[in-house]
A and B are shown apart, each in its own frame.
Chain A
Amino acid sequence: MSPTSVPRAPSAGAGAPPPAIEKRIVLDLDRCIECNSCAAACFLNPAGAGPAVAPARAGAALLPMLCRQCASPACVDACPVEAMVRDDRGVVRRRAFRCIGCGSCSRACPFGVLGEELGGLRTFLRSKDAFSGRLMAKCDLCQDRLAADPRAEPRCVAACPSGALRFVETAPPAAQDLDLLGGRTVGQDLFARRTR
């Protein structure tokens, strides 16, 4: 199949409001024990999507870097071959058969979660062995699991032993009664304060 005949994944068309993602992963910094369970579960993902969660060093800490599934994803705009798309559910996905591994998405990402090197872990490495070696790893919230069971969680969340990673509705924290220990979240509004 030639690249031109590949159908585009359903994404927000021009003028249409961007689809809202239903659930996203949040990280509670006050629970992360830096055990790397999330990264290991993602790396050994049997679906073969590639290691999309990697620990990154923030000073002395080693914290997981996760795609935030942006409403206006810079990676989608930057991709020259339309491998990055935002689907009907608001999930930013990589189409493996189109990706040429040029790294444009990595450089465009304002949060640095698509980096080739994250905290010493080469996110390309497994791709080099298994595929063309020119693929960007991209978190798709483990759509293979969600397709099998709507109650399922992404692997990183299901593997998190301390409960630091949570797969939550994208409603505002107050509406969910999201009571975090220190009120610090990543993936939600960074300036949100604790509700209690």
Chain B
Amino acid sequence: MSSSAATAEAAGLCTLCPGACAMQLARHGDFMLRGEVPLTNRGGLCPRGSALGEVLDPPSAARRILVPQARDDGRSVLLSFPDAVERVIQATAGGEITVFLDGNLPAEQLQAAAAWTAAWRNADLCLMIEPAERDLLIGLESSGAPYLEPSAWAGCDGFLLIGGVFEANPTCSRRIFERRKSDRKVPLVVIDPGGGAACKFASHRAACPPGRELAVLSAVAIEPASPDAPAGRACGPAVRRSEDSEVLAEATLTAKAAGAALKSCSRLAVVVTAEYGRSADWAAIGCLAGRLAKARGGSVAPQTSGANALAAVRIEHRLGTLPLAKALLRNGDVRVVLGGDLAALLGWTQEQGTRGLAAAAAALPNRTTQAARIVLPMPLPAELSGTYLLEGSRAVTVGALVPPPAAVPTPEELLGAFARRGGTAAPRPPADVSGLLDRCDCPLPAAWPIPPGDAEPPGDEDLTLLLARQGFNAGTGEITAHASYQTIARAEPDVRLAPADAHRLGLRNLQPVLVRSRHGQFRGRAKLCPTLAAGAVVLDEALCEARRLLPCRLAPGGEGLVALPVPVTVEVLP
């Protein structure tokens, strides 16, 4: 196929993370639509963005549009759209219904869905985002710290990175590198027990045992405190726990050095990503990180797995939609999942994740649609236009790269069809969405931090399992798992191990291994990772098998969802 047949069809932004990378589509003839990198580098496009372009192509091998269908006695029966809606309403039997809507859709879709469920007497709405990310964003909002604007990166005089931020949003690395190129003395402090890519570039790395990010951050924040910079102390009572003193005693050397490096900063940037399964403390981490940044005249830059997580948190706060934990506690309700993969998000087994599940709609098949009794299609995020909070908290109107396929209803249309069939009149058109997206004053819940509860103690031979982001896959891999490059290049997933542990286990680089926890097992190939501290083993969080090894649990009273590191054994396979 000649390249001259390619014509740029649409230019827009990737909406898989808040990085706002430019992407465009190219059409070859009449049938092949592909993602294309802009002619010049306008921020880059990570493998996730490339995958998004590929799955937009309806006739491609990567995109199989779901058709309305019902599963009767294990057999799939194709339905018309009205029949599918009718079946969903029949399944509710006049009872309560909880709608779980993907929280990373454009704000207008979230607002319209909230209007429909408010008008529909039997229904409640939950905006689904990563539980750890929701907690982190609530903490950041409550701290009052400003969000880092794109133009402000160049003026920062120090960076504190928490979690695998380069994997969460590879674009942010460029801004940090550019700043350090202009002044090599700018400190780059990294707190990441998962040994992510940023550790290689750190000027100071604060040693952090798995699940102890809060204690180490406290040590970094408190150490250099002076009368004019009381960041650590200001947040101290809200975040300290009894075991912190033990960690502080063990990890203070590196934390002290890191704290001292940041002591003189007057425009500190705290770049943070909430990692699934690492800790129950993300709200407190967000609060402390925000206060530290604010005390040092700086800003925060959260890197989330979806582009609109911050908007979802603000809309949830303003419109009173159900938090995910509280929605999951409503056992008597019928559940309808629109977009997103609820089962994969929580790391639950099919049985756990699909209790009460009547219907699921998605752009691409996932574990939730595989288990739902009624399946419906949904558009991909790039097929919807609307407002996103990108690059800090800037509201950006993003156009659809392509319109959704003809037979695919938008979430608003889908929910409207359910509500109308349930006897609800159309609500008044919602007001302008911008009023919902202003900063909200989310107070930290009184119960934070959530007690760690039944954390499993490791045995003598055990390693601690951590999940980490990858620049390769988005979130739970819902979209990228369908892309051809991801399928081929990572046919056998990496299991990252510290060289010391590999030596102890007699493992070589790339040797096949089996990781086993009490929740299941996972096969991959060992990848020796010098930046990873001994005692931890790291898997890509986008692999649904990986999340099943450390599933979420509901905190008492529905205060939150918690996933903690678990002990695992690693066996060498022949």
Contact = CB atoms under 8 A, between A and B. Distances in A.
A195 to B, nearest CB: 13
Given A47-B6, A60-B528, A162-B174, A181 B181 contact: yes
Main secondary structure of the interface of B (DSSP, over half): mixed
B509 A60 contact: yes
Interface in A145-175: 145, 147-149, 151-153, 155, 157-163
Instruction: Name, among A33, A43, A57, A149, the residue most crowded by chain B CB atoms within 10 Å (CB to CB).
Output: A33
Contacts of B166: 33, 35, 162
Interface stretch (A14-22, A75-83, A99-107, A120-128): A120-128
A185 interface: no
Given A37-B45, A44-B50, A57-B510, A163 B178 contact: yes
Most buried by B among A31, A152, A153: A31
A47 B4 CA distance: 8
Which of A36, A57, A126 has the most chain B CB within a 10 Å cutoff?
A: A36
A144 B34 CA distance: 15
Contacts of B37: 41, 155, 158-159
B169 to A, nearest CB: 8
A159 B171 contact: no
A159 B46 CA distance: 7
Interface stretch (B281-289, B295-303, B485-493): B485-493
B355 interface: no
A88 interface: no
A55 B173 CA distance: 19
A48 interface: yes
A158 B45 contact: yes
A34 B28 CA distance: 31
A148 B67 CA distance: 40
B502 to A, nearest CB: 10
Interface string B480-503: 000011001101100000010000
Nearest to A180: B181
A124 to B, nearest CB: 11
A interface majority secondary structure:
loop
Nearest to B170: A161
B47 A161 contact: no
B34 A160 contact: no
A108 B40 CA distance: 33
A175 to B, nearest CB: 19
A44 B491 CA distance: 17
B35 interface: yes
A110 to B, nearest CB: 24
A34 B510 CA distance: 17
Contacts of B53: 44
A152 B3 CA distance: 15
Interface string A33-74: 111110111011011100000010101100000000000000
Contact of B180 (A37, A149, A181): A181
Contact of B39 (A36, A48, A60, A152): A152
A122 B484 CA distance: 12
Nearest to B528: A60
Given A46-B34, A60-B530, A41 B45 contact: yes
A34 B44 CA distance: 14
Most buried by B among A33, A121, A161: A161
B472 A36 contact: yes
B21 A181 contact: no
A55 B494 CA distance: 14
Contacts of A158: 37-42, 44-45
B359 interface: no
Contacts of A148: 39
Contacts of A149: 39
Most buried by A among B37, B39, B41, B485: B37
Contact of A153 (B21, B40, B499): B40
Interface in B149-196: 166-167, 170-171, 173-174, 177-178, 180-181, 184
Nearest to A155: B37
A31 B177 contact: yes
B316 interface: no
B54 interface: yes
Contacts of A181: 177, 180-181, 184
A37 B510 CA distance: 21
Nearest to A144: B3
A46 B35 CA distance: 8
Contacts of A160: 41, 44
Given A36-B489, A153-B40, 13 more contacts: A33-B200, A35-B47, A37-B45, A37-B471, A59-B509, A120-B491, A144-B3, A144-B6, A152-B39, A153-B39, A158-B38, A161-B174, A162-B170
Interface of B: 1, 3-4, 6, 19, 21, 26, 28, 32, 34-47, 50-51, 53-54, 166-167, 170-171, 173-174, 177-178, 180-181, 184, 197-198, 200-201, 471-472, 484-485, 488-489, 491-492, 499, 509-510, 527-530
9 contacts: A33-B170, A39-B489, A40-B47, A41-B50, A60-B528, A144-B4, A159-B37, A161-B174, A181-B177
In the A-B complex, the 5 residue pairs with the closest CB atoms: A161-B44, A35-B471, A144-B3, A40-B47, A161-B170
